[in-house]
Amino acid sequence: MGPAVVLLVVLYAVPIVLDGYYSLTSDQFGGGGKFVGAGNYVAVANSGLFWRSVENNAIFTVLTVGGGTVLALGVALLLSGSFVGKGIYRFVIYLPQSVSFASGAVIWTWLFNAQNGPIDAALNRVGLPGPAWLTDPHLALLSIVIMSWWRDIGFYMVVLIAAIENVPQLLIEAARVDGARRFGVFRHVTLPSIRPAMLFVVLTWGLGALQMFTQAFIMTNGGPVESTYTVVLKIYNDAFQALNLGLGAAEAFVLLGVCIVVGVFAVRWFSRGLEHT
């Protein structure tokens, strides 16, 4: 375990400790900042833009993880079991996972382009007005959610398929003998049996969504009207653009606390009754 522990300490523990230290200073990237105590945290608490970014992150996380989990589970149910061509269908849906977020964001920026994008062009051909996907404050965040679904659903589909196909057939047959229909088998047998996999999906997807940066940075740069401005984008702008490392570190530490709270809540929620499944 020694090498793994050293690696975790170097890559995780040390940066967290340093971030906590810099969050208490007015450091300007090694410029010899002074100790300011909770000054940076007070500035974070009084920042309207920071709380707007928290709101955007919360909406993005709920839509991405909530809707995406339902979609991934639905696709997993459709593509589990034995039928002709299932490998091809699984491959096609999983394929976007091989594309980086940066590349995917560039692709979807072009797809959502209101002037020459193929989505609006197709809608115009059938007589429907193409919306301004990335320039409408009411649609920009939803557009990033759609891109994130396209990129990630395939991975979580594979996780859920593995869990579904490992549900004991004896339990399914017993439920059918007792008169349970297809939905009843899913609700009372399949869903409780895949709770550990659901925990993995919600936890990893949720923590990733809370730290969303690349899509917003490339597709909208936080706009329009700050409707896609995220916490990590604000950390980036404060720490690396404004060179205010202390403020950026404080914002990062607040985000760390949020991630811990969300992680603990998710584990407790999905772990209820897990020992009985």
Q: What is the pLDDT of residues 154-207, one digit of tens each?
A: 999 999 999 999 999 899 889 888 888 888 999 999 999 999 999 999 999 999
Boundaries of domain holding 120? 2-276
pTM, 2 dp: 0.92
pLDDT at 45 over 90: yes
Q: What is the mean pLDDT of residues 252-277?
A: 83
Q: Using CA of residue 149, residue 154, residue 155, residue 157, what is the dihedral sign?
A: positive
Residues 6 or more apart whose Cβ sits within 8 Å of residue 235? 248, 251, 252, 255
DSSP at 99: S
Domain with residue 88: its CATH number is 1.10.3720.10
Cβ–Cβ < 8 Å for 159, 246: no
- The domain total for the chain is 1
Q: How many CB atoms lie within 10 A of CB 126?
A: 6
Under the banding of pLDDT at 50, 70 and 90, the label for residue 28 is confident
Query: Per-residue DSSP letters for 39-91?
Result: HHHHHHHT-HHHHHHHHHHHHHHIIIIIIHHHHHHHHHHHH-S--TTHHHHHH
